[in-house]
Structure 1
């Protein structure tokens, strides 16, 4: 098990160093993600400025839901997205 964790750490280190080849693009992606998260949270904050509950949910409950959604979405984007975006091309060309 420890061998696989070490191997995953190497993969993560390689991926990070590859992403840092284009530093400006890397930092723009980070800024873009932060803006996306802030807009989602600000949207619900704005809704709850005008109402106490929404469909029986108070602001704290909605923020927990939004936070979990954003966390799951971030993990999904990190782990699966690059491969899924390329899958159609792989199927079309018959390559790995």
Structure 2
């Protein structure tokens, strides 16, 4: 059985002003739980990618991906293809 129970996928586009608050809340909720967080930067033009990389260096449960802008659906699909959890949110 997979040791990761839940994969949380967060697509982001030009979310530099809010992504830190979002991740702080998410990561605080899942401490010590078998959860992974997957964030997909969908070709942001602001500092979203830099912020995601900074957080991923601090938290082992956070994986980040960057792709050309293709819309929220394609960002979710990339996250889903990388998910290891038994359940996905």
Same fold (TM over 0.5): no
Larger-gyration structure (1/2): 1
Higher RCO (C-alpha 8 Å, min separation 6) = 2
**TM-score, length of structure 1 as denominator length:** 0.26
> Larger % of helix: which?
1
Greater fraction strand: 2
TM-score, normalised to structure 2, is 0.27
